[in-house]
């Protein structure tokens, strides 16, 4: 059973389109995250939700809108895609908000390519 699953794994789209990435975790964790990893492997926090409540919202363009329908799901919707949005987007979850071991469980990533 996959602990943190993301769909789709690959996404190729044109500039200006709107797209969504879905994430689900079956670990019973109460905190979920979206990270962006650029072509140089730099992994940067975008958002964090705890029990469906937004707790971290880094400096991210408002074209990016996360939604958490319940604590097992965290989706990411991106409007008006730009070339610079091309990256791998990772969903992650943890038991509490980066306390204790700071162990995040990551999905396999969703590779977005904007043409």
Stretch that binds other proteins, among 17-25, 61-69, 72-80, 107-115 (CB under 8 A): 107-115
Residue 66, interface with other proteins (CB under 8 A)? Answer: no
42, 54, 63, 80: which one binds other proteins (CB under 8 A): 42
Residues 3 and 105 sit within 8 Å (Cβ to Cβ): yes
- Cis? peptide before 43, omega within 30° of 0: no
Stretch that binds other proteins, among 21-29, 40-48, 59-67, 78-86 (CB under 8 A): 40-48
Gap between the terminal Cα atoms of the chain: 34
Instruction: Return the residues of window 9-38 that contact other proteins according to CB under 8 A.
Output: 33
Residue 113, interface with other proteins (CB under 8 A)? Answer: no
Instruction: Count how many residues are written for the chain.
Output: 115
What DSSP string describes 20-70? EEEEEE-S--SEEEEEEE-TT--EEEEEEEETTEEEEE-S--TTEEEEEEE
Stretch that binds other proteins, among 13-21, 67-75, 77-85, 95-103 (CB under 8 A): 95-103
Chain positions contacting other proteins, by CB under 8 A: 4, 33, 40-45, 48, 56, 58, 90, 92, 97-99, 101-109
């Amino acid at each position: 059973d996959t602990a943190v699953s993301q769909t789709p794994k690959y996404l190729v789209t044109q500039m200006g389109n709107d797209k969504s990435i879905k994430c689900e975790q079956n670990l019973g964790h109460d905190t979920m995250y979206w990270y962006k990893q650029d072509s140089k492997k730099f992994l940067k926090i975008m958002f964090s939700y705890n029990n469906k409540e937004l707790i971290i919202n880094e400096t991210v363009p408002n074209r990016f809108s996360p939604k958490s329908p319940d604590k097992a799901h965290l989706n990411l919707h991106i409007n008006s895609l730009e070339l610079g949005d091309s990256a791998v987007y990772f969903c992650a979850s943890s038991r509490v908000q980066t306390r204790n071991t700071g162990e995040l469980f990551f999905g396999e990533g969703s590779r977005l390519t904007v043409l």
